[in-house]
Amino acid sequence: MAETEDFLVRELHPEDDDIFKEPMRKRRRSDRDQRFRAFPSVEQSALKEYEKLESRTRRVLSNTYQKLIQSVFLDDNIPNSIKYLINRLLALIEKPSLDPIYIGLFGSTGAGKSSLINAIIRQAMFLPVSGESICTSCIVQVSSGCCEQYEAKIHLLSDQEWKEELKNLTTLLHRTEGPGGEEEDAWDRGDAAEEAVWKLQMFYGNGAEGKSYEELLRAKPRGKIPTSRVISLKAEEAGELSVKLDPYIRTQRRDWDGGSAETHIWPLIKLVEVTLPKSELIPEGVVLVDIPGTGDFNSKRDEMWKKTIDKCSVIWVISDIERISGGRAHEDLLNESMKACQRGFCRDLALVVTKSDKLHLPEYLRERKVGNEAIQSQREAVLERNEMIKLQRNKILKDKLKRKLPADSRVLEASELVYTVSAQEYWQQAVLTEEETEIPKLREYIRRRLLDKKKRTVTKYVTEAFGLLLLTDSFSCTDHMQNEYLHMSGLRRFVEEKIQLLEKAIDQCFAHIARPLQEGIWNARSSYRRILGACLVRSRGNQGFHQTLKAVCLKNGIYASRTLARIDLNEAITQPIYEQIDPIFGRIFRSGKPTDGSALIPHIDAFKLSLQEKMTEIGIRNGWKYDSYKKTFLIQEISAILGGLEEHILRKKRKIYESLTTSVQNDLKPCYEEAAQITGKKACERMKDVLRRGVDRQVAEGMFERAQERMQHQFQQLKNGITEKVKGSIATMLTLASSPGDGLYKELADVKSEYKEMEKLHRSLREVAENAVLRRGMQNFLLRMSPSKAGPPKT
């Protein structure tokens, strides 16, 4: 099989094809090959060809840039059009080869996130695991790179960030006035207080919980804190780095006072980045992120938690097979992940059910209701049960997503939304084979995502570069431009008219959310008391809840614990609004074809298409050739400008989506601050009373209506930003394209050789894509014809 694939690669990738020769400044072949070790040979060949295309393109752009700089270096009055061209070349040269693909593993305590990462990278016990308690205490990112060693960077809170947390921790632990009072006797540490004591004792030593904020500022920490607030670790072997890393990322036991100096600075840690050297299993450009399920009490860490979720283009919700049904934590994680699809960059979401080898066979056989065939083994029972879970959970998850997201969302088109994996069986293979653990399936998913993104990125990059080289060459060949610039005035008028139509279309698009938003406001007004009351009630009454409620108020309505469900009063109060607007909000920011005019991106695509059609029309009418410099440049440059606009919209939508909760939180801030200061007898009931009265007062004064106005204002700002960017960028581009040839242009360096090479690279895009398809088809054919396919499963 390998020999057949190698022969196929040689046939499709001949050595004498100069398109794929190495650039003048060659990268070491061994380094380049190492980057693709995670891929099968067929995919490696495609990646290498795309990599060479990109490398050659960067070299052509660099040569062109250097020639232009030398041409205008001594000129005191460089035209804006040339400045634009030079800046665009430089931006393309410096553009990252590939933005990382962040895959978030999002799960609650003990779900098996770290075990799953260890299995994917094939490094047993690399990240700390435990079946009994929380292990990973912070966000951990794992990726592979060009480094020769295993490396890790531990990022700590800044001095100011720690002072902020310290003040909140000491305020939380401030007890009632006077010893022996009623409140003193009834005071019982809740989860929030226990965690505060734990952190202070870990950082400053026993007795720290009884000291004031000022006293602790003067106290000496137990561990050594680097001035850079970053700790770097390196090791030759994975096991060696794992030992060094363990104290920093493993949650320390609360009843344990020992440990090294590393464990003492544990409360400062906010992020750990781990880099593997040239992994055969996780390709460079992919980052696996272990995300704790509930956020953090520290504001900076909690904000990082949110941003980390939002920057993930893929989220895997990790859930233990024994908690998959009816677990509140599991539902909360799914809801948070679906919000990430609304407000962030997430495009793919899947449920990964861990520990799928767990099954009590006698109990399963007694309750089994499917099929007539007898179960012969534990393995058959596990596989049958896992398949049933996939079918059931796939339907449930898809129904949830349909209620929240547009019908044409990419995630709803996925063939698989549920995976059943077993990290333990991946290592032992006592019951399941390696393939049946589905760890290889997750790796294949990762590779496919990276390969698809690489293809799209390089294709866009080469096409954009070709457009710039077309125009650059035309500046040296003024025959193409002397008499054509006068014909651009009609295009300018057309663009102005289309921009006005685009503004109207955006207004109509955003108008779709007005009614659901209003209905959500009505629902919120009628239900906020019930929702707030439910949030302020705990089954064991006020015992222990006093400090938790105080923590909620100290953090403006939000409390994130490592052991309890996340509390967010602002989000709970606004939930009825989000239930109304979520479907239409998703439709506004979808990328599918427009149906009812509610989608924003298709309006921009229609605007782009209308400009491109107009250019073709003007070109034909004015004698432009079909492949003329002018038309090709304009079409490609508009695609680049509007492509960047889509990224701008995606970055802004998080602020729009969260504007409701942010507005409510800001309005309730005085109320939270007042409640947080309450001490003495019946403090818990008094805090609840302050919160109830404060929310009532704000609702009566128009809190929800202000949130509505602020969201609508954010939409208006987005519209203004879109139209300003379109007007400015396209006006500059048209000025560039219509500039007449003058003396300066005649003095520009000749870039004909660079243009010809770029033209050849652009043509080769199709060849590379066809080669990849042909290789994949041949590979699939050979796999189907392979006699080993019918053999026993690999163990």
Q: Rounded to an integer, what distance in angstroms lies between the CA atom of residue 588 and that of residue 500?
A: 19
Q: How far apart are CA 151 and CA 245, in angstroms?
A: 10
Instruction: Give the pLDDT of residue 529.
Output: 94
Q: According to the model, what pLDDT value does residue 4 have?
A: 39
Residues 143/275, Cβ–Cβ less than 8 Å: yes
Task: With a cut of 70, list the residues of the chain below it in pLDDT.
Answer: 1-35, 74-75, 130-137, 175-190, 251-262, 326-327, 369-372, 408, 474-490, 538-544, 562-563, 591-596, 618-634, 735-749, 772-795
Q: Are 219 and 163 in contact (CB under 8 A)?
A: no
The total number of residues shown for the chain amounts to 795
What is the Cα–Cα distance from 419 to 412, expressed in whole angstroms? 15
Residue 596: its pLDDT value, please? Answer: 64
For residue 594, the model assigns a pLDDT of 52
Nearest to 642 by CA among 588, 590, 603: 603
pLDDT confidence of residue 11? 36
Q: What is the pLDDT of residue 345?
A: 83
Distance (Å, rounded) from C-alpha 626 to C-alpha 614? 13
| Sign of the CA dihedral with 761 first, then 763, 767, and 768 last | positive
pLDDT tens sequence across 122-178? 998 888 875 545 555 688 999 988 888 999 999 999 999 999 989 988 988 875 443
Around Cβ 411, how many Cβ atoms within 10 Å?
19
Spatial separation of the C-alpha atoms in residues 210 and 216, rounded to whole Å: 10
Supply the pLDDT for residue 180.
Answer: 43
CA distance 657 to 563: 28
Residue 236 CA, distance from chain mean position: 30
Give the CA distances from residue 790 to residues 678, 785, 786, in Å, rounded to whole numbers and listed in that order: 72, 10, 8
pLDDT of residue 475: 64
Task: Decide: 250 and 199 in contact? Cβ < 8 Å.
Answer: no
Instruction: Return the sign of the alpha-carbon dihedral for residues 621, 627, 633, 635.
Output: positive
pLDDT of residue 705: 96
Using alpha carbons only, give the angle 577, 582, 583 rounded to the nearest 5 degrees.
135
Strand partners, 156: 269
What the block records as the tokens of 362 is 């006698």
| Contact criterion met (CB below 8 Å) for 658 and 153 | no
What 8-state DSSP symbol labels residue 599? -
Is residue 466 within 8 A of residue 761, CB to CB? The reply is: yes
Residue the block writes with tokens 């499709």: 12
Q: What is the pLDDT of residue 223?
A: 84
Structure tokens given for 189? 């540490």
pLDDT score, position 381:
92
The predicted structure's pLDDT at residue 192:
75
Closest CA to 138 of 119, 118, 153, 120: 153
Q: What are phi and psi of 576, to 5 degrees?
A: -60, -30
Query: For residue 146, which of 51, 31, 30, 38 has the smallest C-alpha distance?
Result: 31
Residue 21 forms beta bridges with which residues? none
Cα 479 to Cα 485: distance, rounded to the nearest angstrom: 12
Question: In this structure, what are the phi and psi dihedrals at residue 588, rounded to the nearest 5 degrees?
Answer: -60, -40
- Inter-residue contact 752 to 492 (CB < 8 Å): no
Encode pLDDT of 335-373 as tens digits.
888 888 888 788 899 999 999 999 988 888 888 766 667
- The strand order across the sheet containing 101-107 reads 230-235, 150-156, 269-277, 139-145, 286-292, 101-107, 314-320, 348-354, 418-420
Partner residues linked to 104 by β-bridges:
289, 315
pTM metric for this prediction = 0.85
N-to-C CA span, the chain: 20
